[in-house]
Chains A and B, each alone.
Chain A
C-alpha cells in the first residue's frame, strides 16, 4: 500500500471530513483532498489525480451511491478503489452499494481501527 497515494474524502459535513482526514493522517496518509458532494467530487476525480475515494452516501446534490455509479461507468475511473463511510445501514442499501461495485463499507459511528482494517483489506486485495 502506497502511503503517498492521493485520497479524496467526500462528505457534506465538514467536521466528518476533518475527522476522516485526521484518521487517515494517523494511518500515514497525509495526501488528502476534500469535496462536499458528488457533484463537486466527480470533476475532481476526472482529473485522474486520485488513487482512492472515501465517500459518504447521504449528501445533497449527488449522493455517494450515484457518485460510485458514475465512477464505475467512467472508463478512466472504473478501477478506482472506493470506500463508503456512511450512516446508511439498511441491508438493501449495503447490497445496492455492493452491486454498484463498492470496495468497502463502513457504517457510522465508526472507530479508527475499523477504518484502518477496511482500507488495509481493500489494498491487500488490490495488491494481491
Chain B
C-alpha cells in the first residue's frame, strides 16, 4: 500500500503540554480564591481538548477512508466498474492454492499407486530367476529345466525393459507434478504482502482510535482471549523457537513416556 504517512503526534502533545502548564496555574488561582480566573482556564482547556479531539477524529476518518480504499484492487485495470476487493481476491487465490496442491498430490499419488506394482512385480520375478540361476551355477539343472529358464529369462528381460520404461516415465510425471510449488509459492507471497499491508493499516487505525479514546477519557475494555487450542491450530510454523511446541516425533515420544506411555 502506498500510504506510509507517519502518525503525527503534535496535536496530542500540544494538548498534554497545555494541560500540564495550566494545571499549576489553575491550582494557584483556586488557592488564591480567583474562581472566575480558574473557570476561564477550565473552559480554555475544554476548548483545546475539543479542538484536538476533532482533529484526531478527522484524522481517524481520513486514515480509515484511505485504508478502505487501499484494500481495493487497482480499478483502472479492472475490466468492469465493479470493484473487486483484495481480500476477496486473496481468498480466491488461496482457494486456487488449495486446488493446485490437491491436484498435484492426487496426481502424484495416482502415479505412485500405478508404479508400485511394477516395482514389486520386477522384484518377485527377479527373485525366482535368481533361485533358478543359482541352481544353474551349481550345475544342478537338467537340460529341460535349462531350456525353460532360457525362455523365462527372455520373457523377463523384455518385460523388465518395458516396465522400467513405464517406471521412468511415471517418475518423470511425478517430477513435473511438483511445479505447483512454484505457482503456489508466488500466490502465497502475494497474499502475504496483502495481509502485511492490511495489518499495517489496522495498527494505524487502532493507534489513532486509541488517541481519540484518550481524549474522551474512554477506557476500552480488553476482553482476554481464552486459549482454545483444543480446536486445533494446524501446523506450527516456528516450532523450533516456541517452548510450548514439540520439535518433532522424538519430543512427542519423550513427552508421552514422561506421562507413563
Q: Are A93 and B112 CB-contacts (below 8 A) given A15-B102, A107-B246, A107-B252?
A: no
CB distance from A84 to the nearest CB of B (A): 10
Q: Are A95 and B255 CB-contacts (below 8 A) given A90-B245, A107-B248, A107-B249?
A: yes
Contact call A58/B233, Cβ cutoff below 8 A: yes
Give the number of chain B interface residues (Cβ < 8 Å): 25
CB distance from B116 to the nearest CB of A (A): 8
Does residue A94 face the partner (Cβ distance < 8 Å to B)? yes
- How many angstroms from the CA of A28 to the CA of B40 in the assembled complex? 91
Of B66-74, B161-169, B180-188, B234-242, the one touching chain A: B234-242
- How many angstroms from the CA of A33 to the CA of B235 in the assembled complex? 25
Q: Are A58 and B249 CB-contacts (below 8 A) given A22-B112, A91-B244, A94-B255?
A: no
Does residue B106 face the partner (Cβ distance < 8 Å to A)? yes
Q: Are A89 and B246 CB-contacts (below 8 A) given A58-B231, A96-B230?
A: yes
Contact call B259/A98, Cβ cutoff below 8 A: yes
- How many angstroms from the CA of A107 to the CA of B252 in the assembled complex? 8
Q: Which of B109, B113, B245, B252 contacts A105 (CB 8 A)?
A: B252
- How many angstroms from the CA of A87 to the CA of B245 in the assembled complex? 11
Contact call B249/A91, Cβ cutoff below 8 A: no
Residue of A nearest to B242 (CB): A90
Contact call A106/B249, Cβ cutoff below 8 A: yes
| Chain A residues in 8 Å Cβ range of B259 | 95, 98
- How many angstroms from the CA of A64 to the CA of B231 in the assembled complex? 9
Contact call A64/B232, Cβ cutoff below 8 A: yes
Q: Are A94 and B244 CB-contacts (below 8 A) given A58-B234, A63-B231, A87-B234?
A: no
- How many angstroms from the CA of A92 to the CA of B229 in the assembled complex? 9
| Chain B residues in 8 Å Cβ range of A57 | 232
Q: What is the 8 Å Cβ interface bit string for chain A, positions 52-96, against chain B (1 contact, 0 not)?
A: 000001110001110000000000000000000011111111111
| Chain A residues in 8 Å Cβ range of B230 | 63, 65, 93, 96
| Chain B residues in 8 Å Cβ range of A63 | 230-232
Report B's interface with A, CB cutoff 8 A: 102, 105-106, 109, 112-113, 229-236, 239, 244-246, 248-249, 252, 255-256, 259, 261
Of the A-B pairs whose beta carbons lie under 8 Å apart in the complex, a sample of 20, sorted by A's number, is A14-B102, A18-B105, A22-B112, A58-B232, A58-B234, A86-B232, A87-B236, A89-B252, A90-B236, A90-B245, A91-B244, A93-B230, A94-B246, A98-B256, A105-B252, A105-B256, A107-B248, A107-B249, A110-B249, A114-B249
